[in-house]
Amino acid sequence: MDLFQQAILNNEIPDFMLGKGAYFSLMRERDIHDYYNNWVQVVLNSLATNNAMFYIEKGITDLVKSDEKNAIVAIMLYLAYYHRFYNEGKIKEEWNIPNSLKEAVKGKLFGTNIDSLNSHEQNTLKSCIKTLVKHNVFSSDFASEFEIE
C-alpha cells in the first residue's frame, strides 16, 4: 500500500500533505520535506483509481483550519501542482474547486505571517500564486496584494 492510501485509511491526509512522521520525504538539497515527492505519489499511484482529488480537497480543508506553520505552503503547492499537471495533460480528473474553499485558502494566506516563513517558503508561495493566477484559480488582483506580477 502506498503512503497516500495509508494516509486515507488512517485519516492522516493533512499529515501526508505536510510530510509529518512516516510521510516525510527528504529534499536533500535543502534538508526539508519534499512536497513534490508526496504529490507524485498521489498522481502516480492514486489519481487513476481512487477519487484522489476528493481526499486532497479534504486535506486542504483540514489544513485551512490548522495552526501548522507550513500549512499554507502545503495548501498552495498542492493547488499549484494539480493545475500544472492537469494543464499538462498528466491528470485527467477535473477538479472544480468550490468557491468556499478558494475563499478559505485566501483567508488562510492573508492570515499567515509571511515574514515568519523562510525565504524558500516565501518564494514557493509566490511561485504558487503565479501558477494559480495563470490558471485562473485566483485573480490577478489577488497576486498584486502580495506584490507579485
Convert the pLDDT of each residue in 127-142 to its tens digit. Answer: 999 999 999 898 888 7
**32: which strand partners?**
27
User: What confidence category does residue 149 fall into, taking pLDDT thresholds of 50, 70 and 90?
Assistant: low
User: What confidence category does residue 57 fall into, taking pLDDT thresholds of 50, 70 and 90?
Assistant: very high
Total number of domains in the chain: 1
Q: Print the domain residue range for 90.
A: 3-144
Position 149 in a domain: no
For position 79, what pLDDT does the model report?
95
Position 133 in a domain: yes
Q: Is 17 helix (H, G, I), strand (E, B) or coil?
A: helix
For position 128, what pLDDT does the model report?
93
**DSSP readout, 61-110?**
HHHHT---TTHHHHHHHHHHHHHHHHHTTS--------HHHHHHHHHHHH
* End-to-end Cα distance, the chain: 42
For position 140, what pLDDT does the model report?
82
Position 35 in a domain: yes
Is residue 69 over pLDDT 60?
yes
Q: Are strands 26-27 and 32-33 parallel, antiparallel or unpaired?
A: antiparallel
* 72-95 tens-digit pLDDT: 999 999 999 999 888 888 887 888
How many helices (H) and strands (E) would you count in the chain? 8, 2
* 12-51 tens-digit pLDDT: 999 999 999 999 988 878 778 888 888 887 766 666 666 7
**DSSP readout, 103-116?**
HHHHHHHHTS-GGG
Is residue 109 over pLDDT 70?
yes
| Whole-number Å distance between alpha carbons of 38 and 111 | 26
